[in-house]
Structure 1
Amino acid sequence: MDQNLIAVIVGFVEGVTEFLPVSSTGHMIIVGHMLGFDGPAADIFDVFVQLGAILSVIFIYKERFARFFTKEGWQADKGLSVWHVAVGIVPVMGVAFFAYKYIKEYLFSPFTVAIGLVLGALLMMYAEYKTKDNQAELLDDLDKISLKQAALVGAFQLLSLWPGFSRSGSTLAGGLLVGLKRETAANYTFLIAVPLMFVACLYDLLKNISILTVDDLQMLAIGFVVAFVVAYWSVLWFLKFLHKYSLTSFAYYRIILAVAALTYFYF
């Protein structure tokens, strides 16, 4: 298949799935295997398309990120602060650093992704079930999230280290369970995704940069731009979706995808 077409397909998949609770990593692994696009070259391409998705969120939340560089942005009692972001990402960054090799070696396969998809779906369905009768009591103001709630959401994010579980899926479900409305949990999830993904991408990039050639630049640029544009609209659509609907439909989709992936690769 033409490399530029692969760039468009993978960039589109990354843009659609990165911030939805469906596991972008799981989709990228499955699609990569289907396209025969894997190995070190695919790894570094995945990094570039993820950077495109990250940039879209920075663009959407530019006022929020700008505030983090002000004095108030460092004061935990004056709204969402740098400290709220830090407690949400430091635990998963620490564990990921030490577990990186194991995860890459043993958990990046269609089978393990399918397991993660199903387990993540069950967690999302459980969170919706537990909070269905007290939606009015859930926190709907991003600037009133406590440090404890932020830390607990960050703890749920540890589940996303299993490919297929989904970072946004685990944090959205965790957000509901610790008392946040879906939209509030989603906004917090997207904000903490940026520094977390940036560090992860930078780490991957430094490990694989030596294999990058001039011939790869066009493909990387195409994937980056496609991921940026698609992720931008995907995030805006998802926030509107959560205003009216639950996560259950995404849970059903994950289970269907897991069954389809297992059937395609193993039967």
Structure 2
Amino acid sequence: MKIGIVGYGKMGHMVEQRAAARGHEVLWRANSYEELVAAVVNGQEVDVAIEFSSPAAVVENLRFCLSHGMKVVCGTTGWYFKLQDVLAIQAQHPASALFYAPNFSLGVRVVSLLTQQLARYEKLLPQYDVAIEETHHTAKLDAPSGTAILLAEPFLGEEGRYKEWALPPNAPEGALPITAHRIGSVPGTHTVRLDSAADTIELTHVAKGREGFADGALAAAEFVTSRCGVFTMEDLIPER
């Protein structure tokens, strides 16, 4: 598989390292929109572009790649408020593909599935309060993390106790609290906590490094190269 890397920071470097270990070839690396345009215009055709840039840059990067019929795996977060705009671009270019996820760790996908099960029980056990806590390195720009929001979603809804999530200390009554910490070089830790007067239930995922995120992104790239459309981790690892 021939790969282009969009966003050549720590994650981009890790993707390149793990790609080589899986027998893939990185043809180009773009650390700016201008470098991305130059790589594509110069005819360095790749099977897939893997995007780990920044919330400020990601939408323009995706717009360019999709409008050129490319297959893109996107691990950048903090842009989902513009998701519908990006999906519309993909729909206008049906030969393209977009695989996006707030977290490409296969372990986090398993935790997400377990959280969905917890949420079903929580609706039957109103004595439990739910909270989510996440910790990341100080360079992470968005808070809370996309993964924390993903883990909160099964507990939200019109019929549930929680209508929305919010960051303390300004969380309104009835909101599910998500506490975000930015400390040192922590790759990522997420905890879903159900607490009652009798006991506490915790489900925690601890990333030990960036390798798991890179391997998951490459698994997504291998999945998407032969497909067109829009995909998420639910397609790569279905519930059943």
Normalised by the length of structure 2, the TM-score is 0.26
Normalised by the length of structure 1, the TM-score is 0.24
Structure with higher strand content? 2
